């Protein structure tokens, strides 16, 4: 039998009863940040619940894939699995975040270039189609597979064992280490990642600020200016008509004054 580590959680601790409870609590708290983000959106641009579910469920599927992949990879070692899980998580939150951003940008460019409308992240049609959501989930899951593959290759570089011993080597309690690794640090980092990624894959409602009227782009400010001119134009015409009448009246009186007067003498 393999010797138990002098410190840290033992093999299988991540999938134990306490570890599973922490993971469920982490999922609930981290996903609640996406609900908070929805309520922080302006009321005019706030997504309906169905659109919000389509957007956030992609992240939920990707996060579950990354989480269970990290748990599986961490249990493959005879060393402290908690510290190895933490290393995986830190790499996912730093290098992995950059890879996700790059993957979303590349996939979005290819989809727009090929004009696959329903595969554009955040676009589901009117009314929203479940087929578009399924297609976008598959694309996002492929991005997460690419990200996790690169991170796994990075972990093959020698030198991670020393960092693994340094990270959590000074925590004497295995349960405290498990709480830090499976709840405290992932909650903080996941909340930031969910917020950023949701902004990447949601529909950009700023495009609604312009209107295409007769082939021209009209902004709300220009529209308000035009409306104000229309409202002012009748008064301007009225004033102009009055001034024209006054001028014509003055011209008429002047012409009357200029006409010679004749007197009849009897």
Pairwise pLDDT comparison (250 vs 176), residue with the higher score = 176
In this predicted structure, the answer to whether residue 184 has a pLDDT above a threshold of 80 is yes
Average confidence (pLDDT) over 37-66: 87
pLDDT for 17: 81
The rounded mean pLDDT for the chain is 75
Look at 3-17, 61-75, 136-150, 160-174 and tell me which has the smallest mean pLDDT. 3-17
pLDDT for 245: 56
Pairwise pLDDT comparison (118 vs 214), residue with the higher score = 118
pLDDT for 257: 52
Rounded distance, CA 149 to CA 96, Å? 10
Please give the structure tokens belonging to residue 43. Answer: 């009321």
Average confidence (pLDDT) over 246-265: 53
What's the first-to-final CA gap in the chain, in angstroms?
150
pLDDT for 219: 46
In this predicted structure, the answer to whether residue 249 has a pLDDT above a threshold of 60 is no
DSSP type of residue 5: P
Rounded distance, CA 194 to CA 97, Å? 10
In this predicted structure, the answer to whether residue 126 has a pLDDT above a threshold of 50 is yes
Average confidence (pLDDT) over 88-106: 90
Of 65, 262, 161, 241, the residue nearest 57 (C-alpha): 65
Q: Do 66 and 197 form a contact (C-beta atoms < 8 A)?
A: no
Please give the structure tokens belonging to residue 14. Answer: 């991540």
Burial readout 175-191 (b: 16 or more C-beta within 10 A, e: otherwise) = eebbbbbbbebbbebbb
| Phi (first) and psi of residue 217, to 5 degrees | -95, 125
The 3-state DSSP class for residue 44 equals coil
Average confidence (pLDDT) over 13-42: 83
Average confidence (pLDDT) over 80-89: 84
Average confidence (pLDDT) over 53-73: 88
Of 107, 126, 103, the residue nearest 116 (C-alpha): 107
Taking only the tens place, the pLDDT of each residue in 187-230 is: 888 888 888 888 877 876 544 443 343 444 444 455 445 444 54
- Which H or E element spans position 61? helix 49-74
Q: Do 121 and 201 form a contact (C-beta atoms < 8 A)?
A: yes
pLDDT for 151: 92
Other beta carbons within 10 Å of 92: 25
Of 90, 80, 95, 92, the residue nearest 164 (C-alpha): 80
Boundaries of every domain in the chain = 13-205
In this predicted structure, the answer to whether residue 139 has a pLDDT above a threshold of 80 is yes
Rounded alpha-carbon distances, angstroms, from residue 266 to 207, 208, 260, 263? 89, 87, 19, 10
Q: Do 55 and 202 form a contact (C-beta atoms < 8 A)?
A: yes
Share of the chain above pLDDT 70, in %: 68
Rounded distance, CA 116 to CA 114, Å? 6
Rounded alpha-carbon distances, angstroms, from residue 117 to 56, 138, 206? 19, 15, 18
Pairwise pLDDT comparison (99 vs 191), residue with the higher score = 99
CA angle 123/126/127 to nearest 5° reads 115
């Amino acid at each position: 039998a393999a010797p138990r580590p002098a410190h840290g959680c033992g093999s299988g601790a991540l999938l134990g009863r306490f570890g599973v409870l922490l993971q469920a609590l982490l999922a609930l708290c981290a996903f609640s940040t996406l609900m908070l983000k929805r309520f922080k959106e302006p009321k005019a641009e706030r997504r309906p619940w169905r659109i919000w579910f389509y957007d956030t469920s992609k992240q939920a599927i990707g996060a579950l894939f990354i989480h269970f992949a990290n748990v599986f990879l961490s249990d493959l070692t005879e060393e402290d699995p908690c510290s190895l899980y933490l290393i995986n998580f830190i790499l996912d939150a730093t290098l992995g975040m950059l890879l996700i951003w790059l993957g979303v940008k590349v996939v979005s460019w290819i989809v727009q270039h090929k004009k696959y409308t329903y595969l554009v992240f955040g676009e589901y049609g009117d009314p929203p189609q479940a087929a578009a959501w399924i297609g976008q989930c598959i694309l996002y899951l492929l991005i997460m597979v690419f990200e996790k593959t690169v991170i796994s290759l990075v972990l093959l570089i020698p030198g991670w064992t020393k960092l693994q011993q340094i990270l959590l080597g000074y925590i004497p309690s295995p349960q405290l280490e498990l709480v830090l690794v499976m709840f405290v640090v992932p909650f903080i980092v996941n909340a930031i990642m969910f917020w950023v990624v949701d902004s990447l894959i949601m529909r950009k409602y700023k495009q609604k600020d312009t209107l295409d009227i007769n082939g021209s782009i009209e902004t709300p400010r220009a529209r308000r200016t035009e409306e104000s001119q229309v409202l002012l134009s009748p008064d301007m015409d009225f004033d102009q008509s009055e001034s024209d009448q006054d001028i014509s009246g003055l011209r008429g009186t002047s012409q009357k004054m200029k006409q010679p007067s004749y007197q009849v003498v009897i």
